[in-house]
Amino acid sequence: MTVSVKSIRNAAHFLQQEKLVAFPTETVYGLGGNALSDSAVASIYAAKGRPSFNPLIVHIRSPEEAWQYGAYSEAANALAHAFWPGPLTLVLPRRDHCTLSLLVSAGLDTVALRVPAHPLAQALLHEAGLPVAAPSANRSGRVSPTDASHVHEELGNTVAAILDGGPCLVGIESTVVDLTSDHPVILRPGSITPAQIAKVLDHDIQTSTGTKILAPGMLKSHYAPSLPVRLNATQVNPSEALLAFGKPIHGAAETCNLSPSGDLHEAAANLFRMLRQLDKAASTKELTGIAVMPIPTGEGEHALGLAINDRLERAAAPRPQTS
């Protein structure tokens, strides 16, 4: 997918004019707005229909830029240099004279920062010369978009431009690490694993997944398709769609296979697109739900399974009334 220099320039102008632009990152597509502008950030919340207590990640160009907004620490610096540009978000204490809109922090005295690796994201940030607040470019409570067409479907009317960079390589959102207390905590698992982070920090790191709302935005039901989701399925009934992993079980009305060869990276990259695909199939066939085969988790090569299962558990969680 090639995007012209002119399109990038236009998109950067839109950001400077406080309009919203959707752009690809290596993880998922982001819905970007000028992070210095309350009005632009408010439009992001409005476009997503996002609960206002859910703070946003600010995308920046370099670690040096991070220390203008968030407090420098050795741990933050080590992680920034090890993993940026890349799929890692650092939650840091907000600096006293931080010029970012208070809305990006949603009332907290912390700020989430990330330097994305995708060349289009980088080109846009450089051209705009602004920090860009960008949650995933889906409506609140829906699965994250990993392709420009997903953004068109959900937010096409509310963005000034969508930069189309083709499918996202990683496919699940960045690992979020909270460095605001003495003990770093992983708030959201992602493709950068706890072991990789612990190695850089040179001590153990806690992971907080599951039920507690630790990142205020970690609503339990979050990555939800509209069909109910059933996890760890070992058999399937004929009215269900199947999200398979490895050798598929038979008998489903519709099947998508995250990775026939059982590769977790491939599964992560396919996850949100396939959830959407199965959800769409529900409009032509009468489907009662999505059954998901077990996804392995563990250390080393299986660590990405933790992030995939975290997203699937959210997709399967009881839905709030409004979303």
Q: With respect to Mg ion, which residue has the nearer C-beta, 7 or 323?
A: 323
User: Would you count residue 310 as binding ligand TXA (CB under 6 A)?
Assistant: no
Under rule CB under 5 A, which residues in 128-147 are in contact with Mg ion? 136
Q: Could you tell which of Mg ion, ligand TXA, none binds residue 146, using a CB distance below 5 to 8 A set by kind?
A: none
Distance CA 131, CA 285 (A): 44
Q: With respect to ligand TXA, which residue has the nearer C-beta, 291 or 307?
A: 307
As a 3-state breakdown, the chain gives helix, strand, coil percent values, each rounded to 5, of 30, 15, 50
Instruction: Specify the pairing of strand 289-292 against strand 229-230.
Output: parallel
CA distances, 203 to each of 72, 186, 193, 198 (Å): 19, 13, 14, 5
Q: With respect to ligand TXA, which residue has the nearer C-beta, 189 or 217?
A: 217
Q: Cβ 225 to ligand TXA, closest distance in Å?
A: 16
Q: With respect to ligand TXA, which residue has the nearer C-beta, 175 or 259?
A: 175
Q: With respect to ligand TXA, which residue has the nearer C-beta, 121 or 293?
A: 121
Length of the chain: 323
Strand spans (E) along the chain: 21-24, 29-34, 57-59, 88-93, 110-114, 132-133, 161-162, 175-178, 185-188, 206-207, 229-230, 240-244, 254-257, 289-292
Q: Cβ 35 to Mg ion, closest distance in Å?
A: 16
Collapsing DSSP to helix, strand or coil, 243 comes out as strand
Binding-site residue total for ligand TXA (CB under 6 A)?
30
Under rule CB under 5 A, which residues in 53-82 are in contact with Mg ion? none
State the residues that interact with ligand TXA by CB under 6 A: 25, 27-28, 30, 54-57, 87, 89, 91, 105, 108, 110-112, 114, 116, 134-136, 173-174, 176, 187-188, 215-218
State the residues that interact with Mg ion by CB under 5 A: 136
